[in-house]
Amino acid sequence: MKKEIHPEVKEITITCACGEVYHTRSTKDDQRVEICAACHPFYTGKQRTATKGGRIERFQRKYGKKEEE
């Protein structure tokens, strides 16, 4: 590796809006993020699922023929 051409890597702190703090190394300064693995709905299991059907299913429910007995 060539000397004196690489950026300086330093210890930084990444702070999430939920209060979670991560310590890592980077060439940038301390950072603040809005969402992290501790509060992201996908990772916490609080992810909402789409309850609406597709366009065709909604149309069939609204305007489709009723099943005869």
Tell whether pTM > 0.75.
no
CATH code of the domain covering residue 37: 4.10.80.400
37 inside domain: yes
Number of domains forming the structure of the chain: 1
pLDDT at 10 over 70: yes
69 inside domain: no
Can you give the chain as a three-state secondary structure string?
A: CCCCCCCCCEEEEEEECCCCEEEEEECCCCEEECCCCCCCHHHHCCCCCCCCCCHHHHHHHHHCCCCCC
62 inside domain: no
pLDDT at 52: 64
The domain containing residue 17 runs over which residues? 1-47
pLDDT single digits (tens) 44-68: 777 666 666 678 887 888 887 766 5
Q: Residue 39 corresponds to which tokens in the numbers above?
A: 């509060």
67 inside domain: no
19 inside domain: yes
